[in-house]
Chain A
Amino acid sequence: MSETALDQRVVRRWLSGLTRGNRRWIQGTVAAGTLAGVATILQMVFLARIVHLGVIEHAPASELTPYFFGLVLAIVFRSVAQGLQTHLAARCSEQVRRTARRQIHQHWCNVGPLELGQTSAGSLAREWIDHVDALHGYFARFLPQMTLSLIVPLLILVLVFYLDWLAGIFLLLSAPLIPFFMALVGMGAEKLNQQHFATVSRLSGQFLDKVRGITTLQLFGQTESAAEVIQQRSDQYRRITLKTLRVAFLSSAVLEFFASVAIAVIAIYIGFGLLGYITYGPSSDLTLFSGLLILLLAPEFFQPLRILSQHYHDRAAALGAGAEILARLNDGEPAASFSNAEAERMDAQPTTDEPGTNGKAIGLNAVSLAFRADQKVLNDVSLMIGEGDVIALTGPSGGGKSTLLNLLAGFLVPDSGDIHLFGMPAGSFAFGWLGQSGFLVHGTWADNLRLTSPDASDVAIETALRNVGLGPLLDSRKDGIFSQVTEDGQGLSGGQARRLSLARIFVADYDVILLDEPTAGLDSDSEMYVLEALHKLALAGKTLIFSTHHQALLALANRVLLVSGGEVNDV
């Protein structure tokens, strides 16, 4: 319990940190809301005045006209302020969400691709899009309303005290109850929210599960019984949820009750006061004007609080989403030098006229890395790789091949020792990387290749695609490299996607190319094309480093390194 309370505090701090650069939007929203409140009070003043003058003092129409003008003016003013409030609130939330998105993206860049690969892209994307959007209501509605639910009732209270202090005391009596209401409403709403989310997500999970497997259910002729199961479980959850709701709704009913009773008590008090039945206190001074005004203001006194309770779920939603985002942001030590390298990357150019130490292009100097204290993946490894070498890394799985590749890419930072490529730190200039799974974006073939090489010519793109054996596929499409890669939901096979990534490397003309198991899991066609493509790259004098078990790839290498037991040795 205390732990979750602490969590909430941290999340709230983060949320308020997000507003730092956007204070003026929130202040603007609150100011507009306050103006709307003042206009409301003015409207009621004019209304009560007109009734008093007309009904009690039988004022002629000409005398009332200016008051009617004032009334209409207050009404117009109120609406303008109200419209402005929502407009500013929407802008505020937009700014805040932008800040949050930037923070998350910066975090992604800081932790680097290796750490990022541990989480599914779908859930990271959900955090970036949906969780951030879940903050909307909190900043647009709840946060300004919090302040407004203090300011506006206070203004009304002051006025009512001025009009009739006894009626003011009635309202004030309920004022200490307001924090109490808020706590009640809050607890209720929180419970309701949690219950609702838990139920919905559990139900959605089960439903999703059935929908995903619907073909299987169809094949076994079980769809009808599955539909019945869905019906039963939904009904069951509905009953459980209602039990909680019965309690949860009570808290807002209490607020409603106090508001109604306060209005009723004030109405009856004023009525009796006007009749002269109450001889005590200020009630003998009551007029229709002051009495009616107090009555008209009483609901407005409770209104901001009622709105706040309606927006309470926004707070819960934002806290829930914020907690998940924050957990991600705190997750994973940012590899310090990784982010530095990232920043410098675009400026750095490989200085080919000075080919590194002793004519060697790539060097590891006493590099050690351990993921767990007791087990070093690499132990004091020193290594020199010449420019234009084709290096195969082999060894048992889990032996450190991928780790070594990630170190060379700069995706990982060694515990000790240093790595330099062409005299520069790892990851400080553009290089080719081919991971285990290929990657493509929704767009044309040309879009996909220009993603990493924006200036590539059409001819270069087509040549690169043919180089990796995607020529026949390209020919079957109407618009060649300008046709969509994925049409009508028909994607590429794993092998084809990896070849597309390889084509990017062909277009970009990198000096160093790192490949993680380039042929693993490929069918024989794709395998053949990949081998051929790597051969071409080797002939072009590129430095290739890849991990593999594949015999043909080992044959392609001019140097084979065995990565095992924390050591790297020539075979």
Chain B
Amino acid sequence: MSDLKPWLTLIYQRPGRLFIGALLMLAALLSGLGLLALSGWFITETALVGVLLAASLPATINLYVPGGGIRFFAVSRTVSRYVERLYNHDTVLLLLTDIRVALFRKLAAAGRGQRRELTGAQWLSRLTSDVDALDTLYLRLIAPTALAAFVTLLLFGLTWILFDVRIAASVALILGIAFAVATIGVYARTARIAARQSDQQESLRMAVVEHLEGFAELTAAGRVGKHGAWLMRQAHQTATEQVKADSRTGWHLAGSNLLINLSAAFALWAGFELFRAGMISGPVLVLLPIALLGLAEVYSMLPEAFGKLGATQASAARLNRDCRSNDLQQLPEEAIALPEGTALLAKDLTVKHPEHAPLFTHFDLQVKTGERVGILGHSGSGKSSLADTFSGLLAPSHGASSGLPCAYLTQKTVLFEDTLRANLLLGAPETSDTQLWRVLEMVDLAERFGSEPDQLDTWLGSSGSRLSGGEARRVALARVLLSPAPLLILDEPFTGVDAPTREKITKQMDVWLEGRTVISLAHGPDALPGTDRVVQLGV
């Protein structure tokens, strides 16, 4: 349950809304119960009076109050149900926003080292199914559970008043068991399956992706059928577990319905004794069992919600794990003073990923202000980790690094689904359009976007103008070049950019960056912009 705690706290930040939503649900439920129970009472009363009238005995009946009541409940049931659905869907959407924003802030607060590198598909499932599991937690689970408990107590009270305390206690006992069967009973019997389910789903997804990526190799080796059959077995196993959980949930639902119906039968049976003793009237005797039968409506919402609780907890745990806050791992960084005229100083650096051999050890580097340094290293040598360390994204496991404020072009090109202008202004919000065109000119994109109808407002990303890998890289480069930071770190700045363009950009960059410090990292000398000196990594 502790996994859910931060999310529950978030949900409970809107107590008023939750309360009103629950009240509306209660109103809808009570209207339904009231309609049937009052109708039952009314029919029994009229039957009794009818018998007397038929025997020409004097009898009176007030038709207006029960008739009005029945009409009122018929209308109030419809209206309250409609308003309740609308209001609570609004609440769910509000909670969705709350959860997303909270999640984003949490992620932003965590350092890159703490954030697990997830694939796009994994993020998509985190942000859709996992967040969905949480935003409907209130509507599916919390509110119905509270409601079921409350209405059960209400009926306990009603039984006490109309019948007697002994019968009320017995009914409450039966309903208590029904409640347990529909809630913790389901949870206890499905939680492990449900929690396992999402992990299985994730590893199945990974296996399918691998199968598809290796389809050519597997086909060539004549193994695609065998491997496919293995995948089918994995999928089948997951599905079988799900059937198990579903059918357990179904049996619990049936069980709780059984108990509710039995409580109604019991109330009728016990009520007859009171009726025969003349302690209650016939109409009252009928009213209570019918009201009890109506409980099935709210109880039937519970088993499914509790059957999914295990999965919801797993979702919450995943979200917690993927964006745990960084105060757990923050090592007290050895701050080193930056000597005068130095842009970056790294002393005795060791960078390693947890449980891996260090990428490199004892790395020293001093970069003077205005210097252009190139760092070369083959793939897997830890170039990008070094750049992360310089920019402060990654804490070194040994040694220290400190530098001037920097703008950092990461190895991965990241552009946002937004306008070209918004993408460029990220690093320097105050830049004028003239400046923007100048920098686009420099990365050889001015012509490309000059011919677009929307110019600087050209929409980038999947729904907008499609950029090639090289073009996207140059937009990202332009964004870093616009930043006023005195130190620039460029990791593979020219990925996907052809040689002639690369040369052109290099030349123009030299002028633009006059007086600023640049550290560029690449796999080969021809992928570096102009440098004063080159450091070879990992030799």
A-to-B contact residues, CB < 8 Å: 43, 47, 50-51, 54-56, 61, 64, 68, 71-72, 75-76, 78-80, 82-83, 85-87, 89-91, 93-94, 97-98, 101-102, 105, 108-109, 112-114, 116-117, 121-122, 124-126, 128-129, 140, 200, 203-220, 222-224, 226-227, 230-231, 234-235, 237-238, 241-242, 245-246, 249-250, 252-253, 256-257, 260-261, 263-264, 267-268, 270-272, 274-276, 287-288, 291-292, 295-296, 299, 342, 345-346, 409, 411, 427, 429-435, 437, 439-442, 451-453, 476, 487-490, 492-496, 501, 504, 508, 514, 523-526
Select which of A68, A121, A215, A257 is within 8 A of B209 by beta carbon.
Answer: A121
A346 engages B257 (CB within 8 Å): no
Is the CB–CB distance between B210 and A440 below 8 Å? Answer: yes
B221 lies within 8 A of A411 (CB):
no
Given contacts A129-B201, A263-B35, contact A242 B86 (CB under 8 A): yes
Q: Does B251 contact A (CB under 8 A)?
A: yes
Cβ–Cβ contact B417 & A205, under 8 A: yes
**In whole Å, how far is A457's beta carbon from the nearest beta carbon of chain B?**
17
Task: Please state if B268 and A253 are interface contacts (CB–CB under 8 Å).
Answer: no
- Mind listing 26 A-B residue pairs with CB under 8 Å? A51-B268, A55-B282, A56-B48, A64-B272, A75-B265, A83-B251, A86-B251, A117-B215, A129-B201, A207-B100, A208-B123, A211-B127, A212-B120, A212-B414, A218-B108, A218-B112, A223-B104, A223-B108, A224-B108, A237-B93, A272-B46, A274-B49, A288-B47, A292-B40, A451-B218, A451-B227
Contact assessment for B93 and A238 in the assembled complex, using a CB-CB cutoff below 8 Å: yes
Inter-subunit contact B67/A86 (CB<8 Å) = no
Contact with A along B368-383 (1 / 0, CB 8 A): 0000000000111000
State whether B43 touches A217 (Cβ < 8 A).
Answer: no
Q: Which B residues touch A525, using CB under 8 A?
A: 378-379
B341 within 8 A of A: no
Chain A positions within 8 Å of B512 at CB level: none
Q: Is B196 in contact with chain A by the CB < 8 A criterion?
A: no
**Which residues from B are CB-within-8-Å of A249?**
82, 85-86
State whether A90 touches B285 (Cβ < 8 A).
Answer: no
In the bound complex, residues from chain B placing their C-beta under 8 Å from that of A476 are 357
Contact across chains for B417 and A209 when beta carbons are under 8 A apart: yes
Query: Given the complex, which residues of B lie within 8 Å of A124, measured CB to CB?
Result: 208, 212
Q: With A55-B44, A82-B253 as given contacts, are A125 and B121 in contact (CB-CB < 8 Å)?
A: yes
Chain B residues within an 8 Å CB radius of A220: 407, 426-427, 483
Chain B residue nearest to A72 in the complex (CB): B265
Contact of B356 among A61, A114, A490 (CB under 8 A): A490
- Separation of A170 and B109 alpha carbons in the complex (Å): 64
**Cβ < 8 Å to A, chain B residues 477-534:** 483, 523-524
**Nearest 6 A/B pairs, CB to CB:** A86-B250, A433-B220, A267-B39, A83-B254, A439-B214, A113-B216
Residues of B within 8 A of A267 (CB): 39, 42-43, 70
- B268, A47: Cβ atoms closer than 8 Å: yes
Q: Is the CB of A264 within 8 A of B217?
A: no
Closest chain B residue, CB of each to CB of A232: B97
Contact in complex: B268, A346 (CB < 8 Å): no
Least distance between B125 CB and chain A CB atoms (Å):
8
- Please give the distance in Å from B269's CB to the nearest CB on chain A: 6
Q: Within the complex, what minimum Cβ distance (angstroms) separates A294 from chain B? A: 9
A210 with B272: CB separation less than 8 A = no
Distance between Cα atoms of A222 and B253 in the complex (Å):
49
- Are B51 and A56 neighbours in the complex by a CB distance under 8 Å? yes
Task: Give A489's nearest chain B residue, CB to CB.
Answer: B117
Q: Within residues 124 to 149 of chain B, which ones have a CB less than 8 A from any CB in chain A?
A: 124, 127-128, 132
Tell yes or no: B74 within 8 A of A by CB. Answer: yes
| B247–A90 CB distance below 8 A | yes
Q: Which of B421-472 contact A (CB under 8 A)?
A: 426-427, 461-462
Minimum CB–CB distance from A318 to chain B (whole Å) comes to 16
- The verdict on B222 contacting chain A, using a C-beta distance below 8 Å, is yes
Contacts of B188 in A (CB 8 A): none
Complex CA gap A97/B240 in Å reads 11
A437 in contact with B213 (CB, 8 Å): yes
A56, A128, A220: most-surrounded residue (chain B CB, <10 A): A220
A-chain residues with CB within 8 Å of residue B483 when the two chains form the complex: 220
Expressed in whole angstroms, the minimum distance between the Cβ of B346 and any Cβ of chain A is: 19
B379 CB to closest chain A CB, in angstroms? 4
Q: Hey, which chain B residues are within 8 Å of A216, CB to CB? A: 410, 414, 426
Min distance, Cβ A369 to any Cβ of chain B, angstroms: 18
Which residues in A have their C-beta under 8 angstroms from that of B93?
234, 237-238, 241-242
**Contact residues of B: prevailing secondary structure:** helix
CB closest residue in chain A, given B427:
A220
The interface-forming segment of B151-159, B231-239, B308-316 is B231-239
Answer yes or no: B243 CB below 8 A from chain A CBs.
yes
Contact of B90 with A by CB under 8 A: yes
- Are A488 and B43 in contact (CB-based, < 8 A)? no
Residues of the A chain whose Cβ atoms lie less than 8 Å from the Cβ of B115? 214
Q: B71 within 8 Å of A by Cβ?
A: yes
Q: Is B393 an interface residue (CB 8 A)?
A: yes
**What residues of B have a CB within 8 angstroms of the CB of A250 in the complex?**
82
A235 with B97: in contact, given A55-B44, A86-B250, A263-B36 (CB under 8 Å)? Answer: yes
**B47 contacts A287, CB within 8 Å?**
yes
- Selected from A227, A411, A492, the residue in CB contact (under 8 A) with B108 is A227
When distances are taken between beta carbons in the complex, the residues of chain A under 8 Å from B272 are 54, 61, 64
Residues of A within 8 A of B86 (CB): 242, 245-246, 249
Q: Are A274 and B46 in contact (CB under 8 A)?
A: yes
The answer to whether residues A230 and B393 also contact, given A90-B250, A105-B232, A220-B427 and a CB cut-off of 8 A, is: no
Distance from A260 Cβ to chain B, minimum over Cβ atoms (Å): 4
Residue of B nearest to A199 (CB): B93
Other-chain residue from A43, A207, A342, A526 in contact with B127 (beta carbon distance below 8 A): A207
A87-B247, A212-B123, A256-B77 known; A275+B61 contact, CB < 8 A: yes
Further 20 A-B residue pairs, CB within 8 A, beyond A56-B282, A124-B208, A246-B86: A47-B268, A54-B285, A79-B261, A83-B250, A87-B251, A98-B236, A128-B208, A204-B128, A224-B108, A230-B101, A263-B35, A263-B39, A274-B43, A292-B44, A295-B40, A345-B222, A409-B219, A430-B222, A433-B216, A451-B227
- Tell me whether B340 is interfacial, beta carbon within 8 Å: no
Question: B380 touching A72 by the CB < 8 A rule?
Answer: no
B 392-432 to A, binary, CB cutoff 8 A, 1 in contact else 0: 01000000000000011010001111000000001100000
- Determine whether B223 belongs to the interface, using a CB cutoff of 8 Å to chain A: yes
B127 contacts which chain A residues (CB < 8 A)?
204, 207-208, 211
Report if A86-B123 is in contact (Cβ < 8 Å); known contacts: A125-B205, A489-B116, A501-B217.
Answer: no
Residues of A within 8 A of B357 (CB): 476
Q: Is the CB of A346 within 8 A of B353?
A: no
Cβ of B16 < 8 Å from any Cβ of A? Answer: no
Most buried by A among B42, B53, B115, B219: B219
Q: How far is the CB of A364 from chain B (nearest CB, A)?
A: 18
Name the one of A55, A226, A487 contacting B48, with C-beta atoms under 8 angstroms: A55
Shortest B73–chain A CB gap in Å is: 8
Question: Inside 8 A of A75's CB, which chain B residues have their CB?
Answer: 258, 261-262, 265
- The answer to whether B379 and A260 have CB atoms under 8 Å apart is no
Residue pair B217, A105 in contact (C-beta under 8 Å): no
Q: Are A495 and B379 closer than 8 Å at their CB atoms?
A: yes
Partner of B257 from the list A82, A295, A441 (CB cut-off 8 Å) is: A82
CA separation between A524 and B208, bound complex, in Å? 32
Distance of A127 Cα from B132 Cα, bound (Å): 20
Chain A proximity of B177: nearest CB distance (Å): 14
What separation, in Å, do the CA atoms of A226 and B105 have in the docked complex?
9
Give Cα A181 to B63, complex, Å.
32
- Picked from A117, A213, A270, A433, the residue with its CB within 8 Å of the CB of B414 is A213
**Interface members, chain B 43-94 (any A CB < 8 Å):** 43-51, 53-54, 61, 63, 66-67, 70-71, 73-75, 77-78, 81-82, 85-86, 89-90, 93-94
**Contact between B416 and A213, CB atoms less than 8 A apart:** yes
B407 touches A219 (CB 8 A): yes
B228 within 8 A of A: yes
Whether A129 and B208, one on each chain, are in contact in the complex, defined by CB atoms closer than 8 angstroms, is yes
